[in-house]
Amino acid sequence: MATSSRRNFLQKITASAIALPIVSGAALESLALPTAIPYQGPVLRVAIMGLGSYGTRVADAMQSCTMAKLTGVISGTPSKVKEWQTKYNIPEKNCYNYENFDDIKNNPDIDAVYIITPNALHKPQTLRVAKAGKHVICEKPMAVNAADGQAMVDACKKANVKLFIGYRMHLEPKTLEIVRMRKDGEFGKALFFQGLCGFKIGDPNQWRLNQKLAGGGAMMDIGIYAVNGARYMIGEEPTWVTAQETKTDPVKFKEGVDETIQFQFGFPSGAVASCLSTYSMNNLDRFFLNGEKGYAEMQPSTGYGPIKAKTHAGELTHIHVTHQTVQMDEMAAMILQGKKPIIPVDGEEGVKDMKIIDAIFLAAKTGKKVALK
């Protein structure tokens, strides 16, 4: 009987092993797979500022984090604070509003604040959080222009706190695999990048269509993915930009709020990029990199996932893990352990994007090629 039971057990184990998908070593290294020994090291205690839809998405994703924990909230809406207190078990003493959140400096339960508010508020809120001695994670775009972004970098350096930007794609396994392949020469010399980013935006009264709060329109919200993607996919900084703006609905997209911008980059190696940012077309979430020896295609390329990607060598099959869970655990490791990301996610990285976006707006306005330093 014992022998029969043992045989059945072994058969089940063997069948289970055969059913498991084959995962490459690179894929395994890029994932935080569960281990038999639970993590017992330090945890980054995070307060989320701005309890809208994306703030909720981050909070939900953090429930699966190992090294980061949601411990506080900052909001101007008392009803949302109450909801979050109940949903995420947040104590009253860790709840703040926009008037009193400077008091976090006296709260040891909060190590960092994730700012997820309208773009124009990022700079003043970052300055206040840094002054309170807490690390800053700021959603992208980091500011409404490069000058404000640089002021944020300077303030965080002065306060000796970290400043990270919410570049979740910089930590996404399929994206990192394509960057690895490019670095290892598997595509040959990079020649061309295309980034298509857009969707039809809804409510005309939302803050994203308010120039004073958003600092622009589609470019700030969705076009930044193509700006950023061109840089890490090509692996160089652009030296010039040209751009053309199209506006079909001047009522919805008022002065200073871009509806659609096509923009082009040139790189030192001779590589070029052609991109589209829009708030008036759906089904646009695609990256394409062409090299002398191969190519990479991602569609969807920046959505919440799963990302789908293939190269001349075949489809990429890395297991999907919620982007915001990966992002928060990785940023916790950067703060607590000094981990270095493959693609930077710091404030300086954010300023580079803002300088390019400033140049895109100038090129679209003047119709001229704008040089980038």
Two tokens, residue 156: 């965080």
Hey, which CATH number is domain 169-320+345-371, 3.40.50.2300, 3.60.15.10, 3.30.360.10, 3.60.21.10?
A: 3.30.360.10
In the block, which residue shows the tokens 């998405």?
Answer: 57
Instruction: Please write the tens of the pLDDT for every residue from 7-41.
Output: 343 344 334 333 333 344 444 444 555 556 889 99
Q: Which amino acid is at 33?
A: L
- Residue-level length of the chain: 373
Q: Which amino acid is at 159?
A: A
Choosing from 123, 134, 140, 174, the catalytic residue is 140
> Domain locations in the chain?
44-168, 169-320+345-371
**225 is an active site residue:** yes
How far is Cα 298 from Cα 315, in angstroms, rounded to an integer? 10
Two tokens, residue 267: 């790189």
CA angle at 102 for the pair 333 and 339, rounded to the nearest 5°: 10
Q: What is the pLDDT of residue 4?
A: 43
How far is Cα 344 from Cα 33, in angstroms, rounded to an integer? 23
C-beta of residue 336 within 8 angstroms of C-beta of residue 41:
yes
CA neighbor of 326 nearest in space, from 308, 339, 312: 339
Instruction: Please write the tens of the pLDDT for every residue from 144-189.
Output: 999 999 999 999 999 999 999 999 999 999 999 999 999 999 999 9
Choosing from 88, 167, 225, 279, the catalytic residue is 225
Count CB neighbours of 262 within 10 A.
16
Please spell the DSSP secondary structure of 56-86, one letter per residue. Answer: HHHHHHHTT-SSEEEEEEE-S-HHHHHHHHH
Count CB neighbours of 336 within 10 A.
15
Q: Which residues in the chain land under pLDDT 70?
A: 1-36
Hey, which CATH number is domain 44-168, 3.40.50.300, 3.40.50.720, 1.10.10.10, 3.40.718.10?
A: 3.40.50.720
pTM: 0.90
CA neighbor of 172 nearest in space, from 37, 346, 326, 308: 326
Count CB neighbours of 250 within 10 A.
10
For 182, residues 6+ apart whose C-beta sits below 8 A from its C-beta are: 190, 233, 235, 289, 291, 296
CA dihedral 255, 261, 56, 204 (to 10 degrees): 40
**105 is an active site residue:** no
